[in-house]
Chains A and B, each alone.
Chain A
Amino acid sequence: MLTKNQLIRLCSARDQLRDVGYAEGSIDEVAKSVAMSRFHFVRQFKAVFGETPVQFRTRVRLDQAKHLLIQSDDSITDICMAIGFSSLGSFSFLFSQRFGRAPSMYRQKLRESGEILSPDCMTIMRGAWESDSQISRSTISPE
C-alpha cells in the first residue's frame, strides 16, 4: 500500500528531479530529502511513475531541450549545457533515440513544418482523422 504521505513525498521528489539545475548524480540527495533510502526511493518511484528517477529526469530534460530548440536560437551546445547535460555526445544520442532525429535536424524540420509543439487533444484528434493513416486505423481495430 502507498500511503498519502508517501505519495506526497514522491511527488516532491519528482518536482526536484524536474529542476534541470540539479546536479548529475544527486539521486541520493533527492532520496534523502524525502526521507527514503536510495534503494527504497528508486523502487517506489518506479512503481508509482513507471520509470526510474534517472529515466524520468532524462525524459524531462529532453522535453525541455525540444522546447528550447524551437523557441530559441541558442546553439545545440548551449542548450545541452542549459538542461544539465555535460556531454554533447550523450545529449545528441539520447535526443535522437527519443525524438527520432538529431537536435539540429529536429529544429530544422519543426521550423519548416510549423508543427505545433504542445498540441491539445482536439488538435491531435483532428490530425489523426486528417492523416493518411486510414489503412493503419482499420488494420489495428480489434478482431
Chain B
Amino acid sequence: MKIKLSGIYVDDQQKALDFYTDILGFKKKQDIPVGEFRWLSVVSPEGGDTELSLEPNVNPIAKTYQEALFEQGIPITAFEVDDIQAEFRRLSDLGVKFTTEPTSAGDVTLAVFVDTCGNLVQIYQLGAG
C-alpha cells in the first residue's frame, strides 16, 4: 500500500489550478474532464510522485467541512519546504495572505496561508525550530 494520492476540496477548480501552479509552483499532472468538472491533480516539481487532487466542493457535505475548518483557522493540509523564511517572503510578495507568520514550534517552524479556494494551508520546515 502506498500514499500516492491525496486531495483537498476547492471552491473553483480553475481558480485552484491557477493558484497551485502559478503561485505555489506545482505542476499540473492530471486534467480529465468529467461532465462540467475535472479530475485535476498537481505534483511537486521537486520530486516525489504523490499527486494532490483539487476536488470540487460541490457536495454540500464537502462544503460544510471545508468552511468549518477554514473558519476555525485549521489548515486542510501541509507542505514541507526547505527554507520557510524564503517561502514566506516569496509568497507574500505574490500577494498571498498569511494567518500565521513563520513560527517556531519545537524542532519545526511553521506558517499558515490562505489558498484563495476556501482553505488554509500550512507550510513547515524541519530542523528550523
For A11, give its contact among B32, B55, B60, B67 (CB under 8 Å).
B67
- Contact A59 to B97, CB < 8 A, known contacts A119-B59, A121-B55: no
Closest residue of chain A to B5 (Cβ to Cβ) is: A125
Nearest CB of chain A from residue B64's CB, rounded to whole Å: 13
13 further A-B pairs in the complex, CB-CB below 8 A; given A100-B36, A118-B59, A142-B45: A1-B97, A7-B71, A11-B70, A50-B12, A50-B19, A50-B116, A115-B35, A116-B35, A120-B62, A125-B39, A131-B32, A140-B31, A142-B43
Nearest CB of chain A from residue B75's CB, rounded to whole Å: 13
| Chain B contacts for A51, CB-based, 8 A | 12, 15
| Chain B contacts for A97, CB-based, 8 A | none
- Contact A140 to B55, CB < 8 A, known contacts A47-B95, A49-B118, A119-B35: no
Binding site for B on A (CB under 8 A): 1-4, 7-8, 11, 47-51, 59, 99-100, 115-121, 124-125, 127-129, 131, 133, 136-137, 140-142
- Contact A124 to B15, CB < 8 A, known contacts A136-B31, A137-B32: no
Q: Across the A-B interface, how many residue pairs have beta carbons closer than 8 Å?
A: 93
Size of B's binding interface in residues, CB under 8 A:
40
Interface pairs (25), CB distance under 8 Å = A1-B98, A1-B101, A2-B97, A3-B99, A7-B70, A7-B99, A47-B95, A47-B97, A47-B114, A50-B117, A51-B12, A99-B36, A115-B35, A118-B59, A118-B60, A121-B7, A121-B53, A124-B39, A125-B39, A128-B30, A131-B32, A131-B33, A136-B31, A137-B30, A142-B43
Cα(A127)–Cα(B35), bound, Å: 9
Cα(A9)–Cα(B118), bound, Å: 14
- Contact A59 to B12, CB < 8 A, known contacts A4-B99, A120-B62, A124-B37: yes
Closest residue of chain A to B113 (Cβ to Cβ) is: A2
Binding site for A on B (CB under 8 A): 7, 11-12, 15, 19, 27-39, 43, 45, 53, 55-56, 58-60, 62, 67, 70-71, 73, 95, 97-99, 101, 114, 116-118
Cα(A89)–Cα(B38), bound, Å: 28
